[in-house]
Amino acid sequence: MNISQAAKASGLSPRMIRHYENIGLLQAPARSDAGYRQYNERELHTLRFIHSARQLGFSMDDTAQLLALWQDRSRSSAEVKALAEHHLQALEQKIAELQAMHDTLADLARCCQGNERPDCPIINSLATA
């Protein structure tokens, strides 16, 4: 299949597929006589794997490590679990940071009268931060 078909089947854009090839995350596929990329089922499966890892928020480096582990049949699941747990800790920290931002902004919005007067606790808070 060509890159457009592979993109549609994997949920990625052609641009992202080319990017993954350029950074070495995906091996360059065979090309037709006219120079068009031709993807097979194995490459499509790899694209879907990459897409799934990225949707879970794994970094490019972590995705590359997961991809290498996936392709290494002698891997230990402990390596995979360690990567996942590290990413989970980072997500939990980000969630806590986002929740704190949400709570602060919600409090400020509740305190703001939202009327024609210039007094605004949101502006005051930003100015004194």
pTM of the model: 0.82
Regarding beta strands 30-31 and 37-38, do their DSSP bridges make them parallel or antiparallel, or are they unpaired? Answer: antiparallel
Give the range of the structural domain holding residue 84, as residue numbers without chain letter.
76-129
The widest CA-to-CA distance across the chain, in whole angstroms, is 70
The answer to whether residues 63 and 4 belong to one domain is yes
Q: Provide the domain count of the chain.
A: 2
Tens of pLDDT along the chain (129 residues) come to: 999 999 999 999 999 999 999 999 999 999 999 999 999 999 999 999 999 999 999 999 999 999 999 999 999 999 999 999 999 999 999 999 999 999 999 999 999 998 998 999 999 999 998
Which of 59, 75, 91 is where one domain is finished?
Answer: 75
